[in-house]
Structure 1
Amino acid sequence: MSTVALITGGASGIGAAVARRLSSGGARCVLVDRDAAGAERVAKEVGGVWMAADVSDPDATRKAVALAEETYGRLDLVHLNAGISSGVDVADFDLERYRKTVGINVDGVVFGVEAAVPALRRHGGGAIVVTASLAGLVAFDGDPIYTMTKHAVVGLVRGLAVPLSEMGIRIGAVCPGFTDTPLVADIRDMFVGAGFPLLTAEDVAAAVESAFYAEEPGTLLVVQPGRQPVPYRYAGVPGPVGGETPPSSR
């Protein structure tokens, strides 16, 4: 029986690379993206199905999950990958852009988990991987709002790790550095001119596939050019005087 994977932001970049990688191993893919033409093109390439939707709409991923079950009879893997940079300047605040960024980068992940968990449980468990960023682990002052959203989804993954593992569902995240995708297209020449190495979408796709099968719940894989993906470890925080120190966490 083929593995069935749902991928948001699947029309290009990391999402499309994940679809190609998983389909080459026999998986059936369901792609979701606001870019209908791109999603259709990649779906045809990988022999999957697609739908055009905005993941900030709570019904979007529910409909995608329903499409997976109606088309293939099950759901095994979910890659919550859709994301945008914010471009929000806190000194010249754009409320509409802020809401859009939070809607896609944070709400889209929350809604995706909410929609996927019941289906994964119906079919005996599975795995969810979120595309976060190094900006979810360290400060990136080039885009503080984007940084906030990626910290938020990393926190969600960490908080859900144990509860979901008790349901037979693994959840983790990949935290790549700058990647040569449409998200950085406007500043790509700056990186190239400075000799700064960029990840490829295929580099990150390989890490996503690894994250699906990570043994430890809540694994956060750091992905950097020229290095193998490595799990990130947080330092522990001091405990109360006379009490136990909280354990180091993922």
Structure 2
Amino acid sequence: MTDTSPTTAEREALRDKVALVTGGASGIGRLAALSLADAGAEVVVADIDEAGAREVAAQVGGHAVALDVSDLDANHAAVAYAQEHAGGLDLVLLNAGVTSDTIVGDQFDLARYRRAMGANLGGVVFGTQAALPALKARGGGSIVVTASLAGLTAVPADPIYAANKHAVVGLTRSLGPLLAGDGIRFNAVCPTFAETPLIAHVRDGLRAAGFELLDPQIVADTALRLFAGEMTGECWFCQIGRSPAPFQFRNLPGPRPAPDEERQAR
């Protein structure tokens, strides 16, 4: 398979940057924290699992902070921690997320719905809201969010997860151009099922159904490439057997004059 690791130039672009990684105690977030540190960045590992965050921070020689991403005040506190302990903020990976474990219909669970929307969408909105002043204070920066292929297609088996990931994709495409004037780039990674603790409860079922699981390092590598690049408002898919690349959205149909017979009938 094609090597997805950042190039020497991309790694050099990350050297001496300060990065905040949410959901950094495990899975994609942990791998991204390790890769960022290996590229020379100073990493602040944020996670609701504070012990796990401290463990990863010790591995990367960085910092750890407890964070419930669904809490706006907690996001502001995590950014303030990065500014106080690392001197500022340049890169933000809004990676924390959960499965929905509920569905619209007879099995709908309001608490699980709110938990999923709070982490997967609120965590991106609140994380961005908290990070913007810190990034602007440095003259700009880069935000990468972890979306999903579920944000690019229909997912009847998990419509709540698909809904919040579609929202993250829409936010990415909209904030990219909106924040460009402030020197802030905003992009998303959209992986297929990756081998992480997030899918532990469905791993056996996925394999039984013939799904191959993606190496999560590919997702972490793609996030680093987005941090180092010049693109904004892009959603990069990470799919089995393909090199990560920006998803090409079709344009909306434009307006056109009504046919002559329709105009005459009015």
User: Which of 66, 70, 84 is 1:70 aligned to?
Assistant: 84
Identify the residue that residue 251 of structure 2 maps to in structure 1: 236
Higher Rg: 2
Secondary structure, aligned partner of 2:201: helix
Distance 2:178 2:81 in 1: 26
1:191: how far off?
Answer: 3.0
Identify the residue that residue 188 of structure 1 maps to in structure 2: 203
Distance 1:211 1:137 in 2: 18
Distance 1:210 1:229 in 2: 10
Higher RCO (CA < 8 A, seq sep 6+) = 2
1:37: how far off?
Answer: 1.3
1:210: how far off?
Answer: 1.1
1:240: how far off?
Answer: 1.4
Q: Which residue type is aligned with residue 212 of structure 2? A: P
Distance 2:149 2:256 in 1: 33
Q: Which residue type is aligned with residue 104 of structure 1? A: A
Identify the residue that residue 21 of structure 2 maps to in structure 1: 7
Secondary structure, aligned partner of 1:179: coil
Distance 1:84 1:234 in 2: 26
1:188: how far off?
Answer: 1.4
Q: Where does 1:93-132 land on structure 2 (aligned, <5 Å)?
A: 93-132=108-147
Q: What is the Cα-based RMSD across aligned positions, in Å?
A: 1.4
Work out whether 1:51 is the aligned partner of 2:65.
yes
Query: Which whole-Å deviations, capped at 9, do the CAs of 1:49-82 have from their partners, x for residues lacking one?
Result: 1111211000112111111111111111000001
Identify the residue that residue 12 of structure 2 maps to in structure 1: none
Identify the residue that residue 226 of structure 2 maps to in structure 1: 211
Identify the residue that residue 93 of structure 2 maps to in structure 1: 79
User: Which of 49, 71, 74 is 1:35 aligned to?
Assistant: 49
Q: How many residues align?
A: 243
1:195: how far off?
Answer: 4.3
**Alignment identity in percent?**
52
Identify the residue that residue 11 of structure 2 maps to in structure 1: none
Q: Where does 1:125-144 land on structure 2 (aligned, <5 Å)?
A: 125-144=140-159
Secondary structure, aligned partner of 1:166: helix
Distance 2:158 2:97 in 1: 14
TM-score by length of 1: 0.93
Q: Which deviates further from its counterpart, 209-218 or 79-88?
A: 209-218
Identify the residue that residue 248 of structure 1 maps to in structure 2: none
1:226: how far off?
Answer: 2.5
